[in-house]
């Protein structure tokens, strides 16, 4: 029997301007002007959850963690990633790698990228070498370019079967 591989794609966007720090990938990168949302509004954690659910046919984050549920208010979104990954492992899946792209006009993400990779890897229960995180601006275009929103794209590869995820 060959190992089964699945790819998953996730995307998230949040408006900016909340009266709390801007948290991306588990790292607070600005003291205020945070993302507006029911939880901590961490676009990277949210996009990652959707990618994991997408890879395994698990629906989406809105269905799994509804913003109408008071239990999800102001929570640390790394919990969503950890719980989702735990469910995948129960079903026999392991993460091969994850690749994320943050789209944010300011501040610059690159000084925080390694810390974000560590936080994302910790939430996933994996090594940071399996996590890639890139960042770009939206070149001043649209709401993200105007500094009104932050977005994140995530892709994951998961595997289950007779072999472990390749090193
Ligand atoms: Mg979200």
Expressed in angstroms and rounded, the spacing between residue 100 Cα and the centre of ligand 1 is: 14
Q: Is the pLDDT of residue 28 over 90?
A: yes
The per-residue pLDDT for range 137-153, each reduced to its tens digit, is 999 999 999 999 999 99
Question: Cα of 11 to ligand 1 centre, how many Å?
Answer: 9
Asked whether residue 2 carries a pLDDT value surpassing 70, the answer given is yes
Tell me whether residue 165 is in a domain: no
Distance 132 CA to ligand 1 centre (A): 20
Pick left, alpha or beta for residue 142 (phi over 0 → left; psi -120 to 50 → alpha; otherwise beta). left
Whether 148 is covered by a domain: the verdict is: yes
Would you say residue 112 lies in a domain?
yes
49 within some domain: yes
* Dist. CA 91 → ligand 1 center (Å): 25
Cα–ligand 1 centroid distance for 47 (angstroms): 7
Confidence of residue 111 (pLDDT cuts 50, 70, 90): very high
Please report, for the domain that includes residue 86, its CATH number.
3.30.1330.50
The answer to the question of residue 167 being in a domain is no
Residues in the 5 Å CB sphere of ion ligand 1? 12, 46
Number of domains in the chain: 1
Of residues 96 and 162, which shows the higher confidence score?
96
Neighbours of 27 (CB within 10 A): 21
Whether the predicted pLDDT of 32 surpasses 90: yes
Domain that holds residue 73: 4-160
For the chain, what percent of residues have pLDDT higher than 90?
86
* 20-39 average pLDDT score: 95
pLDDT in tens, 76-87: 999 999 999 999
Predicted confidence at residue 165, as pLDDT, reads: 59
Distance CA 164, CA 137 (A): 36
Judge whether 52 lies within some domain.
yes
Residue of 46, 34, 116, 113 lying closest to 79 (CA atoms): 46
By CB atoms closer than 10 A (0-12, 13-18, 19+), residue 163 is exposed
70 vs 55, higher pLDDT: 55
- pLDDT of 163 reads 62
pLDDT on residue 5:
96
Please give the distance, rounded to the nearest whole angstrom, from the Cα atom of residue 26 to the centre of ligand 1: 13
Centroid of ligand 1 to alpha carbon of 123 (angstroms): 16
Question: How remote is the CA of residue 111 from the centroid of ligand 1, in Å?
Answer: 23
Domain-embedded: residue 37: yes
**Distance (Å) from CA 44 to ligand 1 centroid:** 8
Six-digit token string for 79: 């919990």
């Amino acid at each position: 029997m060959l190992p089964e591989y699945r790819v998953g794609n996730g995307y998230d966007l949040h408006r900016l301007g909340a009266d709390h720090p801007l948290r991306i990938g588990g790292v607070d990168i600005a003291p205020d002007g945070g993302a507006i949302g029911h939880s901590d509004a961490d676009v990277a954690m949210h996009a990652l959850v959707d990618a994991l659910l997408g890879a395994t046919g698990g629906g989406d984050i809105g269905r799994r963690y509804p913003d109408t549920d008071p239990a999800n208010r102001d929570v640390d979104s790394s919990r969503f990633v950890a719980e989702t990954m735990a469910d995948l492992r129960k079903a026999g899946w392991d993460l091969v790698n994850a690749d994320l792209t943050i789209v944010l006009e300011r501040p610059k993400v690159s000084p925080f990228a390694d810390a974000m990779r560590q936080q994302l890897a910790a939430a996933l229960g994996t090594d940071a070498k399996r996590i890639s995180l890139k960042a770009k601006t939206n070149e001043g275009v649209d709401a993200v370019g105007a500094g009104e929103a932050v977005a994140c794209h995530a892709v994951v590869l998961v595997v289950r079967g007779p072999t472990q995820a390749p090193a």
